[in-house]
A = this chain, B = another copy of it.
Amino acid sequence: MNDILPINDIQKTAGVIIIGNEILSGRTQDRNVAYIGKNLEKRGISLKEVIVIPDDERIIIEKVKTYSNKFNYVFTTGGIGPTHDDITTASIAKAFSVKLIRHTEAVAIMKNYYEPGALTEARLKMADIPEGGVLIDNPVSGAPGIQFKNIFVMAGVPEIMQAMLDGLTDRLVCGPPILTASISTNLTESKLAAGMSKIQNKCTEVSIGSYPYFKRGELGVNIVLRCTEKNLLLGQLALITTLIEETKGIIIEIKTP
């Protein structure tokens, strides 16, 4: 498996599976990938790949199996509600040939959450989990997420997904956090390309990304440096700062960890 960053051995890898026709049709703007990416970066876990797939049993089965083998952790979002198109949990049970069982603790949590009489059969479907799975706390809307093997099954609604992910404090092995520094300038990236390439080659431990922007008719570039070692990061940042100054660019903003 290839790494986004040169990372150390103890850093775990992750893959994300976004399940939902509404993301593919463009009807819903995904907000979960960016949140998960930042959250994992803080934990020192390296997000390697994200895939967006439809609410389709065959495809969900194929992808959860592949990702579960390929990455240390897999996070899914979407498809765990009470309706006919919520098939994530059942598909995961099928993928690993285990039964769906009605989880006693999940039922108790939902009984406690809903008003008397509001726990319909449709809602109880959300208490069915693949045998061997454990619950993920949902402080927003009751019905829990599920951890099954190395797969963390979370809601698609961003507010609920975020609360579920934030709560996974003791289940993920964290690595040294990836530190980020950035510098933005009014120069276009082509003016810096040759110089940046030399700086990148001097120290491959620091990943240097160059992101042009086009805002209100103005072109410019944000340069982002990432590394787990602060000293290396700041050393490379200093070289890029000098490069921009020598190229007679204006430094608009510098951010350091």
Contacts and interface: CB of A to CB of B under 8 A. Distances in A.
Contact of A25 (B47, B52, B56): B47
B37 A25 contact: yes
Interface string A192-212: 111011001000000111111
Contacts of A4: 21, 24-25, 54, 56
B140 A209 contact: no
A58 interface: yes
Interface string A127-157: 0000000000000110000000000000001
B219 A22 contact: no
A50 to B, nearest CB: 4
Given A81-B189, A212-B81, A34 B38 contact: no
* Copies of this chain per assembly: 2
A200 B55 CA distance: 14
A83 interface: yes
A185 to B, nearest CB: 13
A209 B49 contact: no
A109 interface: no
B85 A209 contact: yes
Contacts of A26: 33-39, 41, 47
Given A2-B58, A21-B209, A26-B33, 12 more contacts: A20-B209, A21-B226, A23-B37, A26-B35, A49-B52, A81-B190, A81-B210, A83-B190, A121-B194, A122-B190, A122-B191, A123-B190
6 contacts: A24-B50, A29-B31, A30-B34, A49-B51, A81-B190, A84-B193
